Structure 1
Amino acid sequence: MLNKSEVDAVKMTRWIQKHLNNITLATGFLIAGGFILKWLQQTAVSSVFLIIASVIAATPIIMRAWAALRLKTIGIELLVSIAVVGAFVIGEYDESAIVTFLFLFGAYLENKTLAKTRQSIKSLTEMAPTTANVVSEDGTVVSTDVDLVDKGDIVLVKTGDQIPVDGVITDGTAYVNEASVTGEARLVAKGMSDTVFAGTMVDNGSIFMEATKVGDDTTFAKIIELVEEAQDVKSPAEKFIDRFATYYTPAVLVIALLVWVGFRDFRLAITVLVLGCPGALVIGAPVSNVAGIGNGAKHGVLIKGGDVINTFSHVDTLVFDKTGTLTQGKTAVSKVITYGDATVALAAATALEKNSTHPLGQALVSYAQTQGWSEQAKISDVDVIKGQGIKAHVDDEILVVGNQLLMATSHIMIDADQQDDINALQAAGNSIILIAMNQQLIALVGVTDIIRPDVATSLQALKATGVKRTIMLTGDNTVTAQAIGQQAGIDEVHAEMLPADKAAFVKGLQETGAIVAFVGDGINDSPSLATADIGIAMGSGTDVAVDTSDVVLMQSSFPELVHAYGLAKKTVGNTRMNIVIAVGTVALLLFGLLAGVIYMASGMFVHEASILVVILNAMRLLSYHPKVQLSVKKAHVLDLNQGHHTNVSVH
């Protein structure tokens, strides 16, 4: 329980903090008046103006210094406070007034410019939806606080409205602006069964949607949370500066004391205190990281902190998953080959794949809907085998759906004619789903995939920026994986790998000294994302992949990857530049002090100017964009004559 004096002190602190800008302005006017009076030979009145200015401006500085001391922290404010008291002792009221004014004015400029660097992040929180039009059981629409919306609620969203929660469209069509999530200000057509995200805007149309994620679980809420948390994660440069400042400030106090004792020059000692303030050094690294993270958020790239930026900037090896990463995962069945009556097996395989999120399985389900396949048999004992496929009992028979490895481990023979069919499908650019019933291969399903636009040009840009080695790890067939890698411009391709094999491969790269970033999108990629020095998730991927990763590409595009890598390098370079500016300024001031050309007021002006310079330097990051221009190509299906696809259904 606070006593009365402590309560009064808290109230005073809050009042001063609230009116700090007014205090700074009043101090400026008093100083101007004091110097005008001094010019008019009104020395006594001028001193009164300057004393009042010093007292007014020094009060908040001294209060901050005292608060820091109570927490056993020695900060810049303590140096300035001692310097001001010392200036009073020697009667240099103009010096004390100018020093305190410049300190407050520098803090004002710092807050203003920092606010600008955080604007892109702040704008995210301001876009967060607050209400939702929930359809009640009797059909009426009620405007409800977004925090009260539950999973399963039906929500109506009209033209011009924000989508309040993540969900799936149950009725209607609309064009949706997804810039708040993807960073790309373009309209996306949405219809029945399409997924929509909280924070996006319905530009034209009207939809009914079922809420699937609400509150803090929505994609938009996670974006805000990740960006806000990222600002608090410090880079190695910031951690070093924190440790440096801890010892530097007491060191300046000791040096000033030694100067006073050794030279018997109190003014010189006070000046050392003022000019030794490491303001630009302390602010230089954090403002660069905030600006870099803000730029990324504005362009659909979420970077989880300064430490991630620093590590990412040193990455020399990029490792990619294939399906859903190098390719879009938009697959379609191109051919079905059966051996005997496969009706039951195909229908049962489709039923099994309905629970799979893998693109190959979804392609089979979509194709089955056009064929009218229906499954009447009883399915039981479903066994999902990672990296291979699914086994299950259909009535009294065993159904196996997956890749050739699963067929081999299940002791299912593939004869020469069937192998020729598999080879022909692969040569035509297909991934293969193999379906067997009762130890007999009964059907082959060929599935084509779509490579992402700008993959090859983006990888060239990444190599021009600093990446030395690109590798693709996939569970797919070696021949078709090599073809995909060749078209994408990948240096190395390693195929027929299980998720654990991929993580072990990444670990092996690290043991050779490589700094590795892994780019993936699925649950199976999570071990590799966590193992790599930097995990990069496609925003269209699973929640597990996004949560495990260090960088999220919200639009799932390769130009975003180029932007993220270049931004990391620019941010680290900007941080180093700020450190050089800060250290150089202190060295220049001390040299000028010893040479007799720098004094307290002029030195403080240069000191505060250096803080503004490092902030303005960091703000350049807000407008960063890669110099390499990537051509925007339409997504295309690979040439069927090039055999650029795989033969594995990974679940």
Structure 2
Amino acid sequence: MKFKIVYDQPGRIRFRAGAYAFEKMHEPRIHMACVSEPYVQKAVVHSENGGILLEYEDGYREQVIDFVRNLNIANLPEIEPDTEYQLQAIDTDFKNKLAFMIARRYLAKLFIPAPIRTVHLIYRGLKFVAKGLNCLGEGKLSVEVLDGAAIGASILQRNYESAGTIMFLLNVSSLLEDYTKACTRTALTASLAVKVDKVWVVRDGVDVQVRMQDVQVGDLVRVRSGSMIPVDGTVTEGDAFVNEATMTGESQAVHKTVGKSVFAGTIVDEGSIVVSVRAVSGNTKIQKIIELIDRSEDLKASIQSRAERLADGIVPFSFIGFGLTLLFTRNITKAVSILMVDYSCAIKLSTPISVISALREAADRNMTLKGGKYLEEFALAGTIVFDKTGTLTKAEPKLERVIPFGNRSEEEILRIAACIEEHFPHSMARAIVRGAAERGIDHEEEHADVKYIVAHGIATTLDGERAIIGSKHFVVEDEKIAVGEAEQKKIDELAGAASVIYLAIGGNLAGVLCISDPPRDEAAEAIRMLRERGIKHVAMITGDSQKAAERTAQLLGIDTFFAQVLPEDKHRYVEKMKAEGRRVIMVGDGINDAPALAAANVSVAMSDASDIARETADVTLRSEDLRDLAELRTLSTLLMERIQANYRFIVAFNTSLLAAGFFGFLAPSTSALLHNLSTMGICAKSMTPLKPV
């Protein structure tokens, strides 16, 4: 692609290829190609002038330029626009519409004769009056009635400037509401959408990988543990526990057997099933839910909904003020000045602007939220619950010690454990495999197929004997492997605060592996910062041993911890805290955290979390720094303080205008001017950053 560099600073460069370099339909493809490069952090693409703005990691300027130079639109595959591009398009559309509204308002005064402007203004004003009369006819004394009355009174008094300003602000309010809904809808749709490119289809008894778009009704699709179900259908083979939180909000996984229905967008927590396809793409149940999001009031922060209800609630008092002023003064001018000043306009405008600004600021600080209501919940929560492994720790555990039992050696125990665990790349398995490699121990395949039991362990056959490896709960309680007092005492003495993995062969304990997983460097500081920002109770839930959990809690200053908790039980602890009247934040990263994430008032997933954790969470941290939680707490608290401060100012200032109008100090036109200026001023202030960089 030919281009000119029109802006070039470290980490940020803008290319201009010209107006005819590519078309609007090519923007999503170019955007995806750009952000797919590992060194590109952000891309903005505009077909109008052929502009490509790239933000990149330091030291990659030449690679960025080479990439754009070699960019060939003809070679880029057709794709659906990704979420980031869709949000950019919504943002650009909002700015263009707002700019057009402002330009039309002020340019009309320069180029359109006054009589024509007046006729057009009256025509527009009558629409608002009709809307108000319609609400009144339905028995509602809402903001629309007051707006219609104020605009109608201004037109009757020939105060066309006031009428025009009121209509302009109302149109801006409507545009802002549409923009807020569009942004939140896009984020939620992306979190619910089925993001599967290829699936395994069973044909003639053989699993064949095919493109998702080629799947037809009636096909048999195989779905295994940890995978998303890509279609609606009926189970024809196997059984599995399916997490349907995205569909039903239920945190507990549901057992699905032959003949049961499953739905696209849900996740197989454990097991393997074959699904006969009943619906694909736009006909799935999850797609119907996405369509319903358009009409959902849940997208708004509750404080935003309360602001709208407050605005409606004040309306009767404005009319009472109008009536009393007319009754006592017999002066229609003074009475109309009461209608010119209403609380609703500023309240309805400033609150969504504040929320939008806060969401954008959070995004700039590497925090993605699915809606404004989660900022409010984060500000109000007093309890935060952490998963341990991968959240409070780096999920980079290290093998500390091998304890053999019977006639087996440390080397033999580690070789067998590594041989079994290498098939499952979770953090504990990696520690064992890495520990064997560091000790120069080779581990050839000696076992039959292995079966992974989610968050418990692995079972296989080794030299004709059943071999199992995993947690104490799995090996001792589920599999009934006996551990003698002497053996347990030795484990307790040598393992210390390390996590213990048990290995049993042929029904006997063969050995244990002790693995340490130290906390993240910033974890203690992050918890201290959260306390300083109003979090009163910090808890930790983990499937780890009592000693390992206790050690981590002591190091980080955690109030309460729950150890050796089964994955299916984690959400019960969260629900118990909520039942005690607590507002709960849950922070996790794994498949087994998804039910607890779904149960919390607001949930947070780490940047490297599992797909299901990110799908379930309300907030995603795009960095690995836990101190971002404290940053989000600060932003959310400042947002609530700003909204409350806006309320106080709006009530105080507009009440003073009402009083001045009642006593005749201000004419209706002056009241309207001051009211409109204060509304625009409070909105402008609401757009400023909550926390300066």
Q: Is TM > 0.5 for Structure 1 vs Structure 2?
A: yes
Q: Give the structure 2 partner of residue 164 of structure 1.
A: none
Whether 1:413 aligns to 2:482 is yes
Task: Give 3-state SS (helix, strand or coil) of 2:688's partner.
Answer: helix
Whether the 8 Å CA contact 2:589–2:606 is kept in 1: the answer is: yes
Correspondence 1:92-491 to 2 at 5 A: 92-93=157-158, 96-103=159-166, 106=169, 233-249=299-315, 252-253=318-319, 256=322, 259-260=325-326, 263-276=329-342, 278-339=344-405, 340-341=407-408, 349-350=417-418, 352-356=420-424, 358-368=426-436, 371-379=441-449, 382=451, 384=453, 387-394=455-462, 396-409=464-477, 410-415=479-484, 418-419=487-488, 421-427=490-496, 430-491=498-559
Number of residues paired by the alignment? 494
Answer 1 or 2: higher relative contact order, Cα 8 Å, separation at least 6.
Answer: 1
Distance in 2 between the 1:69 and 1:368 partners? 79
- Output the CA distance in 2 between the equivalents of 1:440 and 1:29: 92
Which aligned pairs between 1:506-521 and structure 2 lie closer than 5 A? 506-521=574-589
Please provide the CA RMSD for this pair.
4.3
| Alpha-carbon distance in structure 1 between the residues aligned to 2:686 and 2:583 | 26
Deviation by residue 1:115-149 (Cα, 9 ceiling, x = unmatched): 9999999999xxxxxxxxxxxxxxxxxxxxxxx99
For residue 624 of structure 2, the aligned residue among 556, 572, 581 is 556
Correspondent of 2:106 among 25, 31, 36? 25
State whether residues 79 and 274 of structure 1, in contact with CA within 8 Å, keep that contact through their aligned partners in structure 2. no
How many angstroms does 1:79 deviate by?
4.4
* TM-score, normalisation: structure 1: 0.65
What is the identity, as a one-letter code, of the residue corresponding to 2:609?
G
Contact 1:62 1:77 in 2 (8 A): no
- 1:309-366 deviation digits (Å, cap 9, x = unpaired): 2222121122211111110101233333444347887556445434545311232234
How far 1:20 moved relative to its partner? 4.1
What TM-score does the superposition give when structure 2 sets the normalisation length? 0.62
Q: Which amino acid aligns with 2:441?
A: Q
Contact residue 503 and residue 509 of structure 2 kept, 8 A:
yes
Name the residue aligned to 1:582.
Answer: 650
* Partner residue, 1:167: none
C-alpha distance in 1, partners of 2:297/2:560?
36
Describe the shift of the 1:579–1:88 C-alpha distance in structure 2 as closer, same or farther (beyond 3 A): closer
Indicate conservation of the 8 Å contact 1:231/1:293, yes or no: no
Q: 1:531 to 1:116 in 2, by over 3 A?
A: closer
- After TM superposition, give the deviation of residue 373 of structure 1 in Å: 0.9
Task: Find the aligned partners of 2:641 and 2:107 in 1 and give their Cα distance.
Answer: 39
Q: Is the contact made by 2:388 and 2:541 (CA closer than 8 Å) also made in structure 1? A: yes
Distance verdict in 2 for CA 1:269–1:87, change over 3 Å: same
Q: Which residue of 2 aligns with 1:176?
A: none
CA contact (8 A) 1:87 1:267 kept: no
Structure 2 gaps of 5+ residues are 1-96, 188-210, 215-280, 283-290
Return the offset for 1:562.
0.6
Report how far residue 467 of structure 1 moved: 1.1
8 Å contact 1:518–1:536 — kept in the other structure?
yes
Name the amino acid aligned to 2:431.
A
Q: 1:389 to 1:266 in 2, by over 3 A?
A: same
Q: In the alignment, what sits opposite 2:674?
A: 606
Query: CA distance change for structure 1 residues 257 and 596 in 2, over 3 Å: closer, same or farther?
Result: closer
Identify the residue that residue 206 of structure 1 maps to in structure 2.
none
Could you tell me whether the CA contact under 8 Å between 1:80 and 1:274 is conserved in 2?
no
Deviates more, 1:608-617 or 1:558-567: 608-617
Note the C-alpha offset of 1:555.
1.4
Paired with 1:400 and 1:19, the residues of 2 have a C-alpha distance of 68
- Amino acid of the structure 2 residue aligned with 1:412: I
Residue 30 of structure 1: how far off its partner (Å): 9.3
**Aligned-partner SS, 2:510:** strand
Specify the code of the residue in structure 2 equivalent to 1:613: G
Q: Is the 8 A contact 2:173 2:348 kept in 1?
A: no
Q: CA distance change for structure 1 residues 67 and 289 in 2, over 3 Å: closer, same or farther? A: same
Letter in 1 for 2:585: A
| Structure 1 residue 102: Cα displacement | 3.4
Find the structure with the greater CA-based Rg: 1
Deviations 1:577-603 (A, max 9, x none): 112222223211211112221221221
Q: Distance in 2 between matches of 1:388 and 1:273?
A: 68
Give the drift of 1:270. Answer: 2.4
CA pair 18-359 structure 1, distance change in 2 beyond 3 A = closer
- Does structure 1 residue 502 correspond to structure 2 residue 565? no
Identity of aligned residues (%): 23
Q: Is the 8 A contact 2:469 2:501 kept in 1?
A: yes
Within 1, Cα distance between the matches of 2:300 and 2:635?
17
Structure 2 Cα separation of the partners of residues 86 and 119 of structure 1 = 34
| Residues 69/449 of structure 1: CA separation in 2 closer, same or farther (3 Å cut) | farther
